[in-house]
Structure 1
Amino acid sequence: MANEARDARHRQRQDEIILAARRCFRRQGFHAASMARLAEEANLSVGQIYRYFTNKEAIIEEIVRRIIDARLAHMEETASVANLPQLLASRALHAEEDDALMLEVAAEATRNPVVARMLVDADERMFSQACLSVKKAHPALSDERIRASVELLAVLIEGTSFRRLTPQKASAERLHALYQQLNEQLFKTEDS
């Protein structure tokens, strides 16, 4: 029982550090946010943070893991590429803060090979799961066609995340119709 309480307190403290880090990283970016600033945001000492995370990259890795876990769970909940045109048209694919943090990860990955590896690993998790979901929904498609379709969808989804930073230039209704046409082309059987 004492171990369970200790583990629960440990997880709670990690959650508090992650929330503080998310706020800090959103304001200053990963590269500019120091451990001292993060500790101040979390109302802890730097030493206390090091009890839970070995370094800033470990915090970034945990943030990325949680974002990807949430995205995979969302993918499982929706479980259909049929919903994708509406989500793309409304720019409501993921939580806006998560999109912004993943953009920060991408920027940091250009400077930091450890973070670049995290991004590659996160992409592999998402890509593999997306391929499995598409295979389940469209078993007649070849694996090569599925990989190509998922790659194109990844470009659309990631581009939509970036485009969220700017005003939408076309109506959501018109975009929905175009995304729907694209979706139908991507997932029609190869012999049709």
Structure 2
Amino acid sequence: MKAKTKRHADPELAQARRNQVLCAAAECFKRKGYHGAGMAEISKMAGMSAGHIYNYFASKDAIIESIIQRDMEETLSLFQEFEENPGDLVTILIDGLDDAVVRHTDMDNKALSLEMLSEGARNEKIATLLQQSDTESRERMRNLLVGERGPLKASSEREINARIEIMFAMIGGLLLRKTLNPNLDKEGLLIALRPAIKTLLLPFE
């Protein structure tokens, strides 16, 4: 049976407490995995009682759902930056690859992504949330590519979808490569990644 979360008189304090729990839970999940990290360990890491945590989250599933939502908000903020930057869109996206490579090869943070994907393979609700997050990211990328400044306005929907899938696979797959090859050369990756992504962002001749 799930606990019921309470309403809080001070929304800012409540949000700070929620973030405190999310950070603690993320650290515990990275160290011991979703099933290995219990609420007792999360509460110890957060510096508050398990009962106090239940004031903000009804269950451990609710915590990981909020972590996924937080990650999605961070991703959408990146797309917002791309949209608001008035420069050439292809140049903006290529320049953003430096940060993308750093983020997707940061094993300290990406260990949590691996754990969520693993849990998604067993937990239908988590899988649905991850899929929804991916769908929204692909939609935002599609809007960029076919929008007013988009380079692929004349391309078919099928072609655009395929290009997005390949780009996401190339960048998202860096996590797997870093896991298998800890000595991955980030600067070397960019030498190959920039022209490859540029080809996918421009109309085929």
| TM-score normalized by the length of structure 1 | 0.84
2:109 and 2:186 mapped to 1: Cα distance? 24
Per the alignment, residue 172 of structure 1 pairs with: 187
Aligned twin of 1:13: 17
- For 1:67 and 1:171, how far apart are their aligned partners in 2? 23
Q: Which residue of 1 aligns with 2:135?
A: 124
2:110 maps to which residue? 99
Query: In terms of mean alpha carbon deviation, does 54-63 or 137-146 score higher?
Result: 137-146
Q: Which residue of 1 aligns with 2:75?
A: 71
Do 1:71 and 1:94's aligned partners in 2 also have CA atoms closer than 8 Å? no
Identify the residue that residue 195 of structure 2 maps to in structure 1.
Answer: 181
C-alpha contact (below 8 Å) 1:141/1:189 kept by paired residues = yes
Do the aligned residues in 2 keep the contact of 1:64 with 1:102 (CA within 8 Å)?
A: no
Residue 81 (structure 1) aligned with residue 93 (structure 2):
yes
Task: Report the aligned-residue RMSD.
Answer: 2.4
Fraction of identical pairs, as percent: 27
2:40 matched to which residue of 1?
36
What does the per-residue CA deviation read over 1:107-162, in whole Å, with 9 as the maximum and x for residues that have no partner?
Answer: 11112222111211111121111211222322233222221111011111111122
Are 1:109 and 2:120 counterparts? yes
More helix by share: 1
Aligned with 2:174: secondary structure?
helix
Change (3 A) 1:26 1:47: same
Work out which of the residue numbers 152, 166, 173 in structure 2 matches 1:159. 173
- When residues 4 and 111 of structure 1 are mapped into structure 2, their CA distance, relative to the original with a 3 A threshold, is closer
Task: Write the deviation string for residues 75-117 of structure 1: whole angstroms up to 9, x where unpaired.
Answer: 33245332255456xx314583442211110011112222111
Residues 4, 104 of structure 1: alpha-carbon distance in 2 compared, 3 angstrom cutoff: closer
> Which of 125, 133, 141 is equivalent to 2:144?
133
